Amino acid sequence: MMHIPDLPRLILRNATLPCALLDPAPSGETVLRDISIAGGCIARIAPPGTLAGEDIDLDRGMVWPCPVDLHTHLDKGHIWPRAPNPDGSRAGALAAVGADRAAHWSADDVRARMDFALRCAFAQGTAAIRTHLDSIGAQPEITWPVFADLRDEWRGRIALQGVALFHPEAARDDAWLMRLADLVAAHGGVMGGVPVMDESLPWFLDRVFTLALERSLDLDFHVDETGDPAAATLRAIAETALARRFPGRIVAGHCCSIAMQPADEIDRTLDLVARAGIAVVSLPMCNMYLQDRAPQRTPRWRGVTLLHEMAARGIPVAVASDNCRDPFYAYGDHDMMEVYREATRIAHLDHPVGTWPAAIAATPARIAGFSAGCLREGAAADLLLLRARTFNELLARPPTDRIVLRGGRTIDCALPDYRELDSLLGVP
C-alpha cells in the first residue's frame, strides 16, 4: 500500500475528485486535480502540475472527503451474538432488542459497544455520525450521559449528534415525555420518535413538535418503515411542520411506504415535504433486509424510498448505514463507502452517478450542520485516498485498500476485532 509521508506541507498529485463533492463543483462526474495540504487543511485544489512542493503521485486514484453517517443506532450495535433476530422480520427485531435492552443495557454495556462502533467508523474514515438512542422507560438516564461522555472523548475525530428514539406508547406518560425532552435539550440532542399510522398520530406529532418548539430542538423521525401504502405519516409530519411554522431542521428517515402509493398521492406528499423543508435519509441496506420479508418467500421489492423523485424536487436526500450487527440488520461495518456502493446498486444511483456521491458526505453534513463531507480550500484535510480511478473501479471492488487522512495525517485503519466483545456478549 502507498505510504503518505507525514509532512507539514504536501501535494497529492493526480487525484481524481468526484465533482459532486467539490465546492465549488465543476460540471461532470470527476475531475483530475492536485491537492496541496498545509497545516492540516486543504490549502489549494488546482489543475495537475500547477502547484510546486514535496509531492506524492496518486496515479489518478480517487480522493473523497471523509463521509458523514446521518442515521445510525450505535446503542444497539453489535448485540447480534447475544440477541439474534429469530426470523429476520421487523417484529422479531423489536422483540429481540427490547429483551436485550431490558436485560443488558447498563452504562458499561452501552459504552463498550458504542466505543467499538466508533472505532470501526473512524477506521473506515467516517468524520461525523448522528445516532438515534433508544429512549424508553429509565433507559434515557443511562444512555444519554454515556453518549455525552463519548461525544467529548471523540471530539476532533468523530463529531456526534444524538436523537431520542421512542414509540407513541412510551410517550403516553406526559411527565416522562417532558423529562425526556429536557434531557435531550440538556445534551444538545435532537427530538425524534416513531410516528405510527393510528389514532395516536395527531396527538403524538402535536406533542413532539410542541416540546421541540419550546426547547428550540431539531427533529428527526423514523417514518413509514413499512411497505403498507396506508402508512402516510410523512405527509402528516409535513402538514404539521407547515401548520406550526416549525423553524428548526426536520429529517425523515426511511419513508419506505411512499414508494407503494399512487402517483397523485406521491405528488401531493412530496410537494408538502419540499415546502416544509424536510430532508430525507434513506437506509437502503436495512430496508432491503427487513422489508418484504416472509418465511419461505422471496422478497419482491427493495424497500427503499423515492430517492430520485425527491432529489428531482430539490428535497435534500442522504443515504446512511442505520443498524449494524443487531436484530434490525445482521451485517454492516460502519462503512459509508459500503453504504454508497450498496445504495448505488439498490436504488440505481448510477448512469449517471450525478450528484449522488454527495448523499453520503456533503448533503448529510448540510442537513445536520456538520462541517465535513466537502472538498474545499480551507477545509480540514480529512480525506479518503482510494486506488480506484473511476466510479466503475470503485463500485466494482470493495475499497479495502483505502488510506484515511485526518487533518492531513494518516490514521491507523485497522478495524477492531470482534473478539473484543466476546465477554460482554457472553460468547464462549
What single string gives the DSSP state of each residue in 13-64? EEEEEEGGGBSSPPSSSEEEEEEEEETTEEEEEESTT---SSEEE-TT-BEE
Q: How far is the CB of 203 from Zn ion (least distance, A)?
A: 23
Judged by CB, which is closer to Zn ion: 61, or 253?
253
CA-to-CA distance for 144 and 133, rounded, in angstroms?
Answer: 8
Smallest gap from Cβ 283 to Zn ion, in A, equals 6
Q: Least distance (Å) from Zn ion to the CB of residue 307?
A: 17
The kind and range of the H/E element at 319 are strand 317-319
Nearer to Zn ion, 220 or 382 (CB): 220
Distance in Å, CB of 289 to Zn ion, minimum? 12
* Angle (deg, nearest 10), helices 174-186 and 201-215: 40
The answer to whether 364 and 373 have CB atoms below 8 angstroms apart is: yes
Q: How far apart are CA 381 and CA 379, in angstroms?
A: 6
- The count of residues in the chain is 428
- Contact predicate 236/195, CB 8 Å: yes
338 noted as active-site residue: no
Q: Give the bridge partners for 219, in sequence order.
A: 191, 250
**H or E element in which residue 318 lies:** strand 317-319
CB 146, min distance to Zn ion, A: 19
The whole-angstrom separation of Cα 197 and Cα 87 is: 24
User: Which helix H or strand E contains 215, and what residues bound it?
Assistant: helix 201-215
Q: Between 322 and 338, name the residue whose CB sits nearer to Zn ion.
A: 322
Q: Which residues contact 91 (CB under 8 A, 6 or more apart)?
A: none
Question: Under 8 Å CB-to-CB from 34, ≥6 apart: which residues?
Answer: 11, 12, 13, 14, 15, 44, 45, 46, 47, 48, 49, 50, 51, 55
Binding site for Zn ion (CB under 5 A): 322
User: How far apart are CB 321 and Zn ion at their closest, in Å?
Assistant: 10
Which of these is catalytic: 153, 169, 199, 225? 225
Nearer Cβ to Zn ion (119/222): 222
Smaller CB distance to Zn ion: residue 212 or 251? Answer: 251
Of 285 and 381, which CB lies nearer to Zn ion in the complex structure? 285
- Which residue's Cβ has the minimum distance to Zn ion? 322
Which residues form the catalytic set? 225
